[in-house]
Structure 1
Amino acid sequence: MQQSKFPKYIFDWFGGLVLLIGYIIGSVIVGFVGVAGKFIFRLDFMQKPWFLMLSNAIVFCLVIAAFDFLIVRPKTGKKLNFNFSPTNFYTYLLIFPMMLGMMFIGEFFTAQIPTTGPFFGDYYEFFENLMSGLTDDPVLMVITAVIMAPIFEEIIFRGIIQKGLMNKGVEPWKAILFSSLLFGLIHGNPWQFVGATLLGGVLGLVYYKTKSLLLPMLLHGFNNLCSTLLVTYTKNESFAQAFKIPEWEILIIGIVLFSLFCYLFMKKNKVHYSDI
């Protein structure tokens, strides 16, 4: 039997530490460049949208490289590599409506989180100001949120963490849940945590069933593209407000879409790519 070209690495506490170290080193490098820009070029790089995009890419690349060189290559003798196989057209017809349904469900629960008050009000204002730098430049937002984020984040959360846990022998549903919770937490605020965790579950399920990292990347990009369009043209990341319907109707539509297409995907989809 032909040996798999994909390394069978595992993800454990040491792997998590390596990812954290890679993140810290990347952040330090970005911070150093930002400070150097102020003193040498008299420019505040930290306020430049292009620098934010570049710094995100640098940090993500260093995180992935750290795991590759410190975990994967020493233990497997192979470089970090993933399956990016496409699937049949029928599967795409199932997973995108399923993803849209979960996006609707996530929006409903996110809408229940307060945005005013002594704690949430100040936090939400800070979060809105933080995001305004991206939304002011639609091109930058598309590059960062629709292209870069799906690629880097899916490699880390599904390709490294979820797959590494399953390679270790962790039950698939536990690996999907763990990576989804981390995916939600990394967004750093309660409004994105809910949606990111729920959507992370869908992304993890699709990756587990198809074994192809391409599909969760496309779904992730689809979600971020919808959010970008909503923010750009309606100034609010809400399907309910865009369609002028109550949030509970969005919830019902989401439950129907997700339940139907998830059932079809789980029961009818017969294509499962192997890691060979």
Structure 2
Amino acid sequence: MENSRYPQFKFTWIGGVILVAGLFAGMMSISFFMTFSKIFFGINVALKDWFIMFSNAVVFLAAIACFDFFVVRRTTGKKLNFNFSPTNFYTYLLIFPLMLGMMFIAEFFTSQIPTTGPVFGDLYEYFGNLMAQLTDDPVVMIITAVIMAPIFEEIIFRGIIQKGLINNGVEPWKAIVFASVVFGLVHGNPWQFVGAVLLGCVLGLVYYKTKSLLLPMLLHAFNNLCSTLLVIYTQKESFAEAFQLSEWIILAIGIVLFSLFYYLFVKKNKMHYAEI
């Protein structure tokens, strides 16, 4: 829409390079900060509880700022801005069960990936140790996974990549899948990749239909909150383990939930809003 208050930027390979450059600049800034603190103050900030939150914020903000300055403002004359409007209550009643259904489906397929053996064993142990660092402090885990990650990741993957591709003439379903695959790849391991791609498709669908970035942020936070609570209160990583159910039962419930609410959300009610 030409008169939209939201910039109608396009996402191309150049935008992708700029995003990566922004991420790299953010990581370099963190490295400089760590070195400076160590040399001049004798403090290893990497051991501080707040460091994970701080470093994630700096890296993501650097990427978003670079894309805003070098792409959005230079091509549209506007600053990067998104629609965060809430929607009607009925829509929430549809999208949260839709998301929960896909969470169950994603859990099933993730459970089929081996966690032992010469290829996957060491990799699973490595990423398990990384996650253990995050889960040492429940407060840090909740702030990082439930608040920060949904905000920053949805801005980049749905708000910038998916929306920019659609603005560039890419078919919506292709843009949704592409953004979801990239979303999965940045998680860096096969177990999170599967879930991130499947859940990313739901997040992308909801954003495309409602045009509000608030909704995928809330759904993303809902998914991460469920995972966080499972780890904190049950020391398990899946619904099947936590509730002592077969993964096949989880899959069946997921398919029923997803199919029903996908039909209600997309087919029956044909939810689709315009961004103004």
User: Structure 1 unaligned runs (5+)?
Assistant: none
Percent identity (aligned): 71
The SS at the match of 1:245 is: coil
Summarize deviations over 1:141-184 as a string: whole Å, max 9, x none: 11000000000000000000000000000000000000000000
1:101-116 residue pairs with structure 2 within 5 A? 101-116=101-116
Q: Structure 1 length normalisation: TM-score?
A: 0.97
Runs of 4+ in 1 over 6 A off after TM superposition: none
Residue 181 of structure 2: aligned partner: 181
- Pairwise CA distance, 1:108: 0.5
Q: Structure 2 length normalisation: TM-score?
A: 0.97
- Pairwise CA distance, 1:14: 0.3
The SS at the match of 2:101 is: helix
Residue 127 of structure 2: aligned partner: 127
**Alpha-carbon contact 1:49-1:133 (below 8 Å) kept:** no
- Pairwise CA distance, 1:268: 3.2
Summarize deviations over 1:115-153 as a string: whole Å, max 9, x none: 111121111111011111111111111100000000000
- Pairwise CA distance, 1:267: 2.0
**Alpha-carbon contact 1:91-1:269 (below 8 Å) kept:** no
1:196-207 residue pairs with structure 2 within 5 A? 196-207=196-207
**Alpha-carbon contact 1:49-1:134 (below 8 Å) kept:** no
Residue 275 of structure 1: aligned partner: 275
- Pairwise CA distance, 1:3: 1.6
The SS at the match of 1:151 is: helix
- Pairwise CA distance, 1:270: 4.9
- Pairwise CA distance, 1:221: 0.2
1:253 and 2:253 correspond: yes
**Alpha-carbon contact 2:265-2:271 (below 8 Å) kept:** no
1:11-90 residue pairs with structure 2 within 5 A? 11-90=11-90
The SS at the match of 1:81 is: coil
Summarize deviations over 1:3-43 as a string: whole Å, max 9, x none: 21011100000000100110010000001111222222222
The SS at the match of 2:83 is: coil
- Pairwise CA distance, 1:46: 1.7
Residue 91 of structure 1: aligned partner: 91
Partners of 2:270 and 2:120 in 1: CA distance: 46
1:138 and 2:138 correspond: yes
Q: Amino acid of the residue matched to residue 154 of structure 1? A: E
- Pairwise CA distance, 1:83: 0.7
**Alpha-carbon contact 1:19-1:66 (below 8 Å) kept:** yes
User: Structure 2 unaligned runs (5+)?
Assistant: none
- Pairwise CA distance, 1:47: 2.6
Partners of 2:235 and 2:33 in 1: CA distance: 33
**Alpha-carbon contact 2:94-2:264 (below 8 Å) kept:** yes
Q: Amino acid of the residue matched to residue 111 of structure 2? A: A
Partners of 1:222 and 1:139 in 2: CA distance: 16
**Alpha-carbon contact 1:230-1:237 (below 8 Å) kept:** yes
Residue 233 of structure 2: aligned partner: 233
Summarize deviations over 1:199-247 as a string: whole Å, max 9, x none: 0000000001101101000000000000000011111210001111110
Q: Amino acid of the residue matched to residue 25 of structure 1? A: A
Partners of 2:39 and 2:235 in 1: CA distance: 36
1:221 and 2:214 correspond: no
Q: Amino acid of the residue matched to residue 163 of structure 1? A: K
**Alpha-carbon contact 2:23-2:63 (below 8 Å) kept:** yes
Residues 82 and 265 of structure 1, relative CA distance in 2, 3 Å threshold: same
Residue 190 of structure 1: aligned partner: 190
Residue 209 of structure 1: aligned partner: 209
Aligned length: 276
The SS at the match of 2:122 is: helix
Q: Amino acid of the residue matched to residue 115 of structure 1? A: T
Residues 26 and 2 of structure 1, relative CA distance in 2, 3 Å threshold: closer
**Alpha-carbon contact 1:103-1:195 (below 8 Å) kept:** yes
The SS at the match of 1:119 is: helix
